[in-house]
Amino acid sequence: PRGTAQWQAADAAHFLHPFTDFGALAAQGSRIITRAEQLYLWDSEGQRLFDAMSGLWCVNVGYGQQALIDAATRQLQQLPFYNAFFQTATPPAIELAELLAELTPPQFRHAFFTGSGSEGNDTVVRMVRRYWDLQGQPDRRILISRNNAYHGSTMAGASLGGMKSMHAQGGLPIPGIVHIDQPYLAAYRRQRPAAAGLDEEEFGLIAARWLEKKVLELGPHRVAAFIGEPVQGAGGVIVPPASYWPEIQRICDRYDILLVSDEVITGFGRTGHWFGCETQGFRPDLMTFAKGVTSGYIPLGGVMVGERVARTLIELGGEFEHGYTYSGHPVACAVAVANLQLIREQRLVERVHDDVGPYLAEQFATLAGHPLVGDVQTSGLMGALLLVREAAGQSPFRPDQPVGMVCRGHCFAQGLIMRAVGDRMIVAPPLIISRAQIDEMMALIRHCLDLTLADVHS
């Protein structure tokens, strides 16, 4: 067997990693992750890591669940692949579509499968435009999204996303996609000192009405859909004010605009309901999902299509010329069915809602007194700490070493995987986490904040 150094050399020589600085990787080497159990990972040096990010927000049921492994094994033996093109189907894909219809809000009775969340969002772009064509309103072409959103890395996904640096690298967005600002009060206050006294709920209405303003500016007859993550994830776990989504719903209803919820992170229990739109109180026409649908054990994504759009596609549409080789992949769908049954049987969503979600909120609140922490936010088992350099005195980090990256470095060295987004530190642990494991995570977080604080003062 190869050792760490050999893995690192082969990695640097041949593997172009996603979202990675190639030069830094070649210079420093990767950490090679070799196995996992529950919510712990081990690297090739035998070091244990507490995975407070569920991989990439996806391993909802934790690592090593035998029911998922068995479902994959059985399906691989029985029928490892067949497609769903041209009027064929496999039992796992049918079963999953049926189960999703049961678990999602009542307007959803149909699923369209993809291989990833990005492809789900590409599907949304084509599907909403197709819908409006069939409705005889072909001018409704524009999708409105938000700054700092993340909707994936394909051309449409990255266009819907609001990451300016991603747009710059790909000549994006593609035509017909426009952005409004995100509902993030701390950022709004930074830009407008006059907003210091604004409360969260007032701000939620202001932020939602940026949508109305944009719709009126473009002309409602040209707007096809609005898309958003119920809680922005990769943008830094930005939990919107409670007033935000109901007002977005009102505006979409008023101008007859399709409302799309990107549930790739928030789906399948993360926020304490099955779907983030339920936590935030809105009723989407379409919903993209991926990640937690299989707990990341195998790639799968898709779009839940509400009856309004589904009926039009089915009754007026004929062939929808869109799909992927792996749309409805039988092994992926079999794993998803086993995963969703496990979430249901173990009442993980209820646990997040009633027990570990509130406990995380309570524990995070105790960090608000730390000299490096300016604000804390949680929604179910998503949490963010806003690190405020100012609070730690006047010795700023070097500009090439943002405070989040310094903190993340300490976490990584201390055996805790947390994510840094600018000056926000993020957790999204597996839904199976216990209170004792939250305590263990909190002790690591406190220790790493102290180490980071010591750096500020050095």
**Three-class DSSP category at 364:** helix
Q: What are the two backbone dihedrals, phi and then psi, of residue 360, each rounded to the nearest 5 degrees? A: -65, -45
Q: Which residues bind ligand PLP (CB under 6 A)?
A: 56, 116-118, 121, 150-152, 229, 233-234, 262, 264-265, 290, 301
DSSP assigned state of 351:
H
Cβ closest to ligand PLP, residue 100 vs residue 448? 100
Q: Which residue is nearest to ligand PLP (CB)?
A: 117
Task: For the CB of residue 329, give the shortest distance to ligand PLP in the complex, in Å.
Answer: 14
The whole-angstrom distance between residue 35's C-alpha and the CA centroid of its chain comes to 24
Instruction: Name which of 389, 369, 450 is nearest 414 in CA terms.
Output: 450
Question: Hey, what's the torsion of the CAs at 307, 310, 311, 313, to 10 degrees?
Answer: 160
What are the angstrom distances between the C-alpha of 206 and each of 214, 237, 243, 245, 261? 13, 20, 10, 12, 20
Cβ closest to ligand PLP, residue 377 vs residue 437? 377
Q: Please check whether residue 214 is in contact with residue 144, taking contact to mean a CB–CB distance below 8 angstroms.
A: yes
Task: For the CB of residue 69, give the shortest distance to ligand PLP in the complex, in Å.
Answer: 21
Cβ closest to ligand PLP, residue 247 vs residue 263? 263
Helices (H), ranges, 317-402: 330-345, 348-351, 357-367
Q: Please check whether residue 284 is in contact with residue 260, taking contact to mean a CB–CB distance below 8 angstroms.
A: yes
Task: For the CB of residue 266, give the shortest distance to ligand PLP in the complex, in Å.
Answer: 8
Parallel, antiparallel or unpaired: strands 142-146 and 223-228: parallel
Q: Please check whether residue 382 is in contact with residue 427, taking contact to mean a CB–CB distance below 8 angstroms.
A: yes
Task: For the CB of residue 317, give the shortest distance to ligand PLP in the complex, in Å.
Answer: 25
Cβ closest to ligand PLP, residue 225 vs residue 449? 225
What are the angstrom distances between the C-alpha of 454 and each of 374, 376, 403, 405? 17, 21, 12, 15
Task: For the CB of residue 115, give the shortest distance to ligand PLP in the complex, in Å.
Answer: 8
Cβ closest to ligand PLP, residue 231 vs residue 334? 231
Task: For the CB of residue 171, give the shortest distance to ligand PLP in the complex, in Å.
Answer: 20
Task: For the CB of residue 117, give the shortest distance to ligand PLP in the complex, in Å.
Answer: 2
Cβ-based neighbours of 37, under 8 Å, separated by 6 or more:
63, 64
